[in-house]
Each structure stands twice: as structure tokens, then as C-alpha cells.
Amino acid sequence: MLSVHTSPLEQPGTGDAGGMNVYVSQTAQEMARRGVEVEVFTRATSSDQPPLVELAPGVTVRHVQAGPFEPLGRDELPAQLCAFTSGVLRAEAFHEPGYYDLIHSHYWLSGQVGWLARDRWGVPLVHTAHTLAKVKNAALADGDKPEPRTRVMGEEQVVAEADCLVANTPVEARQLVEMYGAEPHAVHAVPPGVDLERFTPGSQALSRQALGLPQDAVVLAFAGRIQPLKAPDVLLHAAAELLRKRPELAPRLVVLVVGGPSGTGLEQPQALRELAVSLGIRDQVRFLPPQPGPALVDVYRAADLVAVPSYNESFGLVALEAQACGTPVVAAEVGGLPVAVVHGVSGLLVPSHGAAEWADALAALALRPDRRRELAANAVEHARRFSWRRTTDSLLDIYAQATRAFRNALDLRTEVAV
């Protein structure tokens, strides 16, 4: 697996680390459990990182030196792709020919590396985009910076070169075909999973105690990378609107924002705190740094609902994890979120980002315990349909198909040459 710009060893929820890191780590571990050895190539960001790290039995992370030992912005990474590719090819050259059977690249930067390695090694390239620049640019938050043309062109090249493309949802599969000219037969929609052993329903009381939250609080939570695209500001505006309509809630309302700055959010890391002050809800909003898995479980269980107000979301793992913990989700009706959340069944989908509409949706769940309980039970059931085991089953099927097609094409070329 190639994961150039972010490592599965990083804590997700800030900077470049998010759902893709979880995806790579979980599918690699699931593959290893089935006897498929996985090596994940990622860029070294510190001189302390050993060249090889065992993430789990059968999963090795290879730190490739490409550029300085420090985090680089995404705009700086394309210039390091040549060095990274060279590191990948050199690592392979230490082995006997045919060491790797297949390459799975994650995000377009890795796709650029994968396409060259594929040609050198004669193995198929499977690519997952995770997010697409054209889709993101069509749904930007007000004032947010669009993704650059370099990325759009790079993605188009990877789509044209990859043997198979994996999309998170049928909507994303269609976007690859309609916006990027992918061959429909090369695109497979495979839903991501959720760790159903970690994310389970549990005692809200104990989780509130663990987080130091009052038992009678109305808790609205957001978890993820803090950036305009993820729209945590929509939740804050909606909470302020809710308090305007229901001022008696003020002593009990808690808006929990979990995560760290990321993307264009890095330019104004204090913006959300300033917004809370200017909306007059500073006392209601609590910020927590990115939380590792077990602590995140407490956040989900403690919350009356989890909000996912993103302007775009290829899928939205947070929505699935919250539901697996028995917490209904209020999500924007965009991208993959209508797959992750079933409107009126496991949560609510809001068609706009307006404060009034969001405030109504929050109130409809958080202030109606009977409705909340009903959706909470459905949420657990809905989340159970997804698992990393199922995701990995589908990926391994795709790998097998890609390998067969690749070998057939190779045989055909050899016959023609003879």
C-alpha cells in the first residue's frame, strides 16, 4: 500500500491524519489476519522514525525519506514524489523479482507513485482517491480555498492509469466516471467499515463521568479535523440559534468539539474559539484535542447526538462510529453521508447548512428522549451492516480480479509479440 502524505501510525483527527489513516490501518490489519502480508510505504516526517515499523503482525510500515524530516504542506508534496518513488523502487530492488503482487495506492499523490512502480514491477495498480478535488471544489465553504489545478490534473492521470478504482459509495463511483472519465467497468464501490469491537454502545453516565460532563447535560458532539470543509462552525451557529429559541437550555447545553486544525483551518487555528465567543456560547463549547480510539468512544457515548455538518464527505467514518456506539447522527445531506446515515431511521440528514434548519434538527433529536432512543437503537443496527472485514473481503475480490485481468492482458501482449 502506498500512503505518501500521511501514515497509518499517526493519530487521526488533526492535520493530514483522518479517515484515510484509519482505512489503511484497518484494511491492512484485516488482510494480514488472512495471511496477506502488507507493507505500507509512507513519507518519513522525523529522523526518529525507524525505516521499518511493525504496525501489527504481517503489517509493516516503511518510512521513505523524501524531502526534509518534517511535516510538509500538501502543496509541497508533489515536488517530493520523484524522491519518494525512488525510495519505493529501491526498497523493492533488495528483494527477488516478483516480491510484491499488487499495489494499492491511497490518495492521488500515492497514485502518481503507484503508476510508475506498477509499470516497473508488472503488477496491477488499484487506487482509492478518498477525496476528489473537483468534487471538493464544487462544494466549498464560503471563502474556503479551492484545490489547485495540479491536483486535478494529477488525479485525472491516476484515474487514467489505474487498473482498478475503488470508490467509497456509488455516488463517488459515478463522479469518477462523469467528472474524471473513468471506465465504468474499472470502478468498484466498496463501503468503508467500522471497528465493531471498539465502537459499541455503553453507559452514557460512565462516559459523561469520564469526560467530566454533568449527567443532566444536553451534549452535542463534533469529532474530526477542524477545517472549513468539515463545517464545525455550522454546529456552533446552530447551537447559538437553539439557545435563542430555548434560552432555558443555556446551563445544560454542552457542545463538545474534538479534533485539531487541518487543511485551510491551519491558517486560523483560533477561528472556532473566536466564533464561540462572538456567538455568546463560549461557556457552552468545550474543545478537546484529537482523542485516541477508547477516549473517542467515551465522546460518542456521552453525546446525545453527533453532528457531521461537512460541505463534502466522501463517506464520513465518524458518522458510522457514533452510530455503532448507539448515538444518532445529524449530518449534512452530502457525498457519502446519506449512505452512512439513514434519514429518520438512524439519524437525520439536513439538506442545507443554515443555522435555523440545523437548530431544528438538533432539537428534534437532542430534546426528545423518546425519539432519540428509537433512533439510537436503529443506529447500532445500521452501523452493524458495515465492518472492516466486509470491506476487506471486497478489496481482496477486487485484487484477485485485477490480477487476473492484468495477467490476461500480459498474455495477450506476449502472444501478439510472438
Annotated binding site: 5, 11-12, 16-21, 74, 107, 131, 151, 225, 230, 291, 300-301, 303, 313, 321, 327
Per CB under 6 A, which region of 53-61, 150-158, 222-230, 374-382 contacts ligand UDP? 222-230
- Measured from the CB atom, the residue of 244 and 384 that comes closer to ligand UDP is 384
Instruction: Determine the residue type at 395.
Output: L
Three-state SS letters, the chain = CECCCCCCCCCCCECCECHHHHHHHHHHHHHHHCCCCEEEEEECCCCCCCCEEEEECCEEEEEECCCCCCCCCCCCHHHHHHHHHHHHHHHHHCCCCCCCCCEEEECHHHHHHHHHHHHHHCCCEEEECCCCHHHHHCCCCCCCCCCCHHHHHHHHHHHHHCCEEEECCHHHHHHHHHHHCCCHHHEEECCCCCCCCCCCCCCHHHHHHHHCCCCCCEEEEEECCECHHHCHHHHHHHHHHHHHHCHHHCCCEEEEEECCECHHHHHCCCHHHHHHHHCCCCCCEEEECCCCHHHHHHHHHHCCEEEECCCCCCCCHHHHHHHHCCCCEEEECCCCHHHHCCECCCEEEECCCCHHHHHHHHHHHHCCHHHHHHHHHHHHHHHCCCCHHHHHHHHHHHHHHHHHHHHHHHHHHHHHHC
How many amino acids of this chain bind ligand UDP (CB under 6 A)?
Answer: 19
Residue number with CB closer to ligand UDP (40 or 402): 40
Nearer to ligand UDP, 122 or 292 (CB): 292
Q: Does 18 bind ligand UDP (CB under 6 A)?
A: yes
| Residue 59 grid coordinates | 503489517
Binding-site residue positions for 1D-myo-inositol 3-phosphate: 5, 16-21, 74, 107, 131, 151
Q: Does 19 bind ligand UDP (CB under 6 A)?
A: yes
Interface region with ligand UDP, contact rule CB under 6 A, candidates 53-61, 75-83, 151-159, 221-229:
221-229
Examine residue 12 and tell whether it contacts ligand UDP (CB under 6 A): yes
- One residue of 31, 127, 321, 361 binding ligand UDP per CB under 6 A: 321
Determine which residue in the list 318, 329, 342, 349 makes contact with ligand UDP, applying CB under 6 A: 318
- Residue among 22, 158, 325, 398 that touches ligand UDP (CB under 6 A): 22
Q: Which three cell numbers stand for residue 93?
A: 530492488
Pick one of 232, 290, 328, 347: the residue that binds ligand UDP (CB under 6 A).
Answer: 290
Which of residues 228, 259, 328, 347 is near ligand UDP by CB under 6 A?
259
Task: Determine, following the binding rule CB under 6 A, whether residue 224 of this chain makes contact with ligand UDP.
Answer: yes
Contact stretch for ligand UDP (CB under 6 A) within 14-22, 121-129, 182-190, 386-394: 14-22
The yes or no reply on residue 307 touching ligand UDP (CB under 6 A) is: no
Tell me if 242 contacts ligand UDP by CB under 6 A.
Answer: no
* For ligand UDP, the closer CB: 17 or 243: 17
Q: Which stretch binds ligand UDP (CB under 6 A): 19-27, 170-178, 180-188, 364-372?
A: 19-27
Q: What minimum distance in Å lies between the beta carbon of 293 and ligand UDP?
A: 6
HSE value, Cβ hemisphere, 13 Å, CA-based, for 79? 7
| Closer residue to ligand UDP in complex, CB, 63/225 | 225
Binding stretches for ligand UDP (CB under 6 A): 12-13, 18-20, 22, 223-225, 258-259, 290-291, 296, 315-318, 321
